[in-house]
Amino acid sequence: MEKMVAELKKLVNFKDTTVVGDLVLILSGKPQMLAYALVTSIEPDNSRKDEWWQVEMQLLSVPPREMVWTLRQSQFTGREIFTMGGEQRFVQAVRFIHEQPVPPAAKESGADRKTTGKSPLRIIK
């Protein structure tokens, strides 16, 4: 799971925070799944001693599926890989921006994505 998360972090521009309205990427070990979900609500779970949150999401599938997971903040912000029912999960919000920032190494070398025309994304067929 750690290897898959490391690869995702190379390909996806993740956010450090998660708020209502964000799209999150969900990675599951078993069943093996990679899916997007829309965060529709984040409410404190007062039935627990520690700081837990009820995170309501709409899984962007056909048909869309509503789900509510009880998670700690570190779990729904991608800082922790966690388990549910004994299976590993990873959740983190995705930053969708129109123009990718130029990495520092590319700036130093004088290379610019606009001039090279290369995209940081891969086409998967």
Is pLDDT at 110 greater than 70 in this prediction? no
Is pLDDT at 112 greater than 50 in this prediction? no
d(CA 54, CA 56): 6
Instruction: Spell out the residues 6+ positions from residue 68 whose beta carbon is closer than 8 angstroms to its own.
Output: 54, 55, 56, 57
pLDDT for res 29 = 85
CB-based contact 23:94 (threshold 8 Å):
yes
Q: What is the pLDDT of residues 77-103, one digit of tens each?
A: 999 999 998 999 999 999 987 555 556
Instruction: Spell out the residues 6+ positions from residue 20 whose beta carbon is closer than 8 angstroms to its own.
Output: 39, 40, 41, 42
Domain residue ranges of the chain, discontinuous segments joined by +? 2-100
pLDDT for res 113 = 44
Query: Distance from first CA to last CA of the chain, Å, rounded?
Result: 23
CB-based contact 17:42 (threshold 8 Å):
no
Look up the pTM and report it.
0.72
d(CA 30, CA 86): 9
DSSP state for residue 120 in the 8-state scheme? S
Is pLDDT at 109 greater than 60 in this prediction? no
Q: Which of 1-10, 61-70, 100-109 has the highest mean pLDDT?
A: 61-70
pLDDT for res 104 = 59
Tell me the three state secondary structure of residue 108: helix
Domain 2-100 - what CATH class?
mainly beta
